[in-house]
Chain A
């Protein structure tokens, strides 16, 4: 048996197997991706007219809890600029809208009406009424989902003008 011939056959097999392996790995990676139907079912419309002040409403979007909080006049008057910047104005009222998952490891913080803040039972993190983190371990504010204000309703999953402005100003990562 000619050694160079055997070497060629080995390299040829290696090349074919290598291409096959890359292709197979790509197919396997794609098979684990979220399905198109999962991605498409990603829009939720929330009617804000039924919200009352300082009462947390929890909606569901893409399987995640969404916090909707209509703020009272006294809450707004006590707010800093950083807090105001995260508020969403709908028909003259201030709203906090955020994904209700702690930015530490994804538990759902509970709203405390007397203190107007959120506390996470898992690891003790706290957020103020604008969703800004105040007590460790979470190091980031609650995430604001893509939204679009339409009259008295908000569509989640659709990036509107206000959302894009917030994003440009660096409020939303």
Chain B
């Protein structure tokens, strides 16, 4: 038995048993954040809050949703939307958050690429972040199946067919994933399980890893400046806060972080109450029918760029290009051969690469929504080839980059 003194306060009682003061010091009061940052550094907190909103709204939807092919559609479109008090609120919050979370993820990602925040000890932050992107994608897809409308069914059909790996014709694999020859009861129930349990648990574990990977390298700053945290922390703690290049995570930085969150939430709830239809595809308000394909099958906006990379090629080439697009971002810290961890605008050719990649992905997104005809087909094809080409040249242009 370890020796315990009688505690003189509630705080001391908890500190003796849980080490709360040490935790608070490591995670908040002496977790140093550079001063030289801007609002883009708040996107992580915006994402954490949005995940929380998805979790809470999801819990309320879960109480009335029925994972059964005969009942699912009505449990969403009738029970939740019309009978449950404020059921419409949870559904619209959940749908809008599922869409907006990807907008913030993309901003968060491109901020990291622009400021070079994926190298010099920050590789694991990038990799865990990209794994989170994959997990969020799987979560969005599995959730899209649940209302069991036409778009749910046919997106489920098309995406699971990708696992036949083109000419390899692995139909057994596809049937195994579905638990049936076509998306049916077994498919709906297992995607329900994935959506409400397995993937959310994986996401929470990955968020823990993502935060953990950030603690030792600290966040980057606007100039990629290397900061001696011990020296700057001493200045701060001795009261010379103005001269120190850092502030404490809590409450100093958190107050700014949460201010950005507040601005974001005003925008978010504006969408929820007045402009939620962008997150609700009209085709998905028809119940699933295995004998009628919708005229156009397209994914939600956040998957359009990778869908457009699949589309303009023949089946096997398209699948390979698609697989390439899914994994290539993970390798960014290793494909960027330059040691410079500064904003892209100071990195010569990389500045052009950054903006070309951003514009190319916006073009791919736009073309993915348009029907694959005529000039749109050609633009889509060029943009898809450009995407692959940009990744192939990246190691070379960064290898010749001048060391700053």
Distance A124 CA – B28 CA, assembled complex (angstroms): 56
Q: Does A1 reach chain B (CB closer than 8 Å)? A: no
Segment from A7-15, A69-77, A80-88, A135-143 that makes contact with B: A135-143
Segment from A18-26, A28-36, A47-55, A89-97 that makes contact with B: A28-36
Distance A33 CA – B169 CA, assembled complex (angstroms): 18
Q: Which of B167-214 contact A (CB under 8 A)?
A: 167, 169, 175-182, 184, 186, 190
Residues of B with C-beta under 8 A to A136: 314
Distance A51 CA – B313 CA, assembled complex (angstroms): 38
Among A34, A65, A105, A139, contact of B291 (Cβ-Cβ < 8 Å): A65
How far apart are B373's CB and chain A's nearest CB, in angstroms? 7
Residues of B with C-beta under 8 A to A33: 176, 179
Residues of B with C-beta under 8 A to A106: 157-158, 161
Q: Does B292 reach chain A (CB closer than 8 Å)? A: yes
> If A38-B180, A137-B315 touch, does A105 touch B290 (CB 8 Å cutoff)?
no
Segment from B29-37, B293-301, B329-337, B353-361 that makes contact with A: B293-301
How far apart are A135's CB and chain B's nearest CB, in angstroms? 12
Contact with B along A122-148 (1 / 0, CB 8 A): 111000000000001111000000000
Q: Does B318 reach chain A (CB closer than 8 Å)? A: yes
Residues of A with C-beta under 8 A to B296: 121-122
Q: Does A173 reach chain B (CB closer than 8 Å)? A: yes
Residues of A with C-beta under 8 A to B315: 104, 137-139
> If A34-B175, A34-B186, A35-B186 touch, does A108 touch B181 (CB 8 Å cutoff)?
no
> If A32-B190, A139-B315 touch, does A107 touch B154 (CB 8 Å cutoff)?
yes
CB pair A38 B292 closer than 8 Å = no
Distance A136 CA – B315 CA, assembled complex (angstroms): 9
> Which of B161, B293, B296 has the largest number of chain A CB atoms within 10 A?
B293
Residues of A with C-beta under 8 A to B177: 32
Q: Does A62 reach chain B (CB closer than 8 Å)? A: yes
How far apart are B183's CB and chain A's nearest CB, in angstroms? 8
> If A32-B177, A104-B315, A108-B292 touch, does A62 touch B182 (CB 8 Å cutoff)?
yes
Distance A106 CA – B163 CA, assembled complex (angstroms): 12
Distance A42 CA – B184 CA, assembled complex (angstroms): 14
Among B157, B181, B293, B295, contact of A34 (Cβ-Cβ < 8 Å): B181
How far apart are A140's CB and chain B's nearest CB, in angstroms? 8
Q: Does B162 reach chain A (CB closer than 8 Å)? A: yes
Q: Does B372 reach chain A (CB closer than 8 Å)? A: yes
Distance A124 CA – B311 CA, assembled complex (angstroms): 10
Q: Which of B114-163 contact A (CB under 8 A)?
A: 154, 157-158, 161-162
Q: How large is the interface on A (under 10, 10 to 19, 20 to 34, 35 or more residues)?
A: 20 to 34
Distance A62 CA – B139 CA, assembled complex (angstroms): 28
Among A62, A105, A138, contact of B181 (Cβ-Cβ < 8 Å): A62
How far apart are A94's CB and chain B's nearest CB, in angstroms? 24
Residues of A with C-beta under 8 A to B316: 139
Which chain A residue lies CB-closest to B295? A121
Distance A83 CA – B305 CA, assembled complex (angstroms): 38
Residues of A with C-beta under 8 A to B175: 34
Contact with A along B270-296 (1 / 0, CB 8 A): 000000000000000000001111011
Distance A100 CA – B296 CA, assembled complex (angstroms): 17
Which chain A residue lies CB-closest to B171? A143
> Which of A65, A122, A124 has the largest number of chain B CB atoms within 10 A?
A122
> If A32-B176, A139-B167 touch, does A107 touch B181 (CB 8 Å cutoff)?
no
> If A35-B186, A107-B154, A173-B169 touch, does A123 touch B291 (CB 8 Å cutoff)?
no
> If A122-B293, A122-B296 touch, does A63 touch B180 (CB 8 Å cutoff)?
yes
Residues of A with C-beta under 8 A to B297: 107, 122
Residues of B with C-beta under 8 A to A167: none
Among B176, B290, B311, B373, contact of A64 (Cβ-Cβ < 8 Å): B290
How far apart are B11's CB and chain A's nearest CB, in angstroms? 41
How far apart are B317's CB and chain A's nearest CB, in angstroms? 10
How far apart are A67's CB and chain B's nearest CB, in angstroms? 11
Q: Does A112 reach chain B (CB closer than 8 Å)? A: no
Distance A65 CA – B297 CA, assembled complex (angstroms): 18
Which chain B residue lies CB-closest to A138? B315
How far apart are B25's CB and chain A's nearest CB, in angstroms? 37
How far apart are B314's CB and chain A's nearest CB, in angstroms? 6
Q: Does A150 reach chain B (CB closer than 8 Å)? A: no
CB pair A137 B291 closer than 8 Å = no
Residues of B with C-beta under 8 A to A173: 169
Among B154, B179, B181, contact of A32 (Cβ-Cβ < 8 Å): B179
> If A64-B290, A108-B292, A173-B169 touch, does A139 touch B314 (CB 8 Å cutoff)?
yes
What are 7 A-B pairs at a CB distance below 8 A? Answer: A35-B179, A35-B186, A64-B290, A108-B292, A121-B295, A121-B296, A122-B293
Q: Known pairs A64-B181, A106-B157, A137-B313; list 17 more (Cβ under 8 Å).
A: A29-B176, A35-B186, A58-B291, A60-B290, A62-B182, A63-B180, A63-B290, A65-B291, A105-B157, A106-B158, A107-B157, A107-B297, A122-B297, A137-B314, A138-B315, A139-B314, A173-B169
Enumerate chain A interface residues (CB-CB to B < 8 A). 29, 32-35, 38, 42, 58, 60, 62-65, 104-108, 121-124, 136-139, 173
Closest 3 CB pairs of A and B: A63-B182, A108-B293, A62-B181
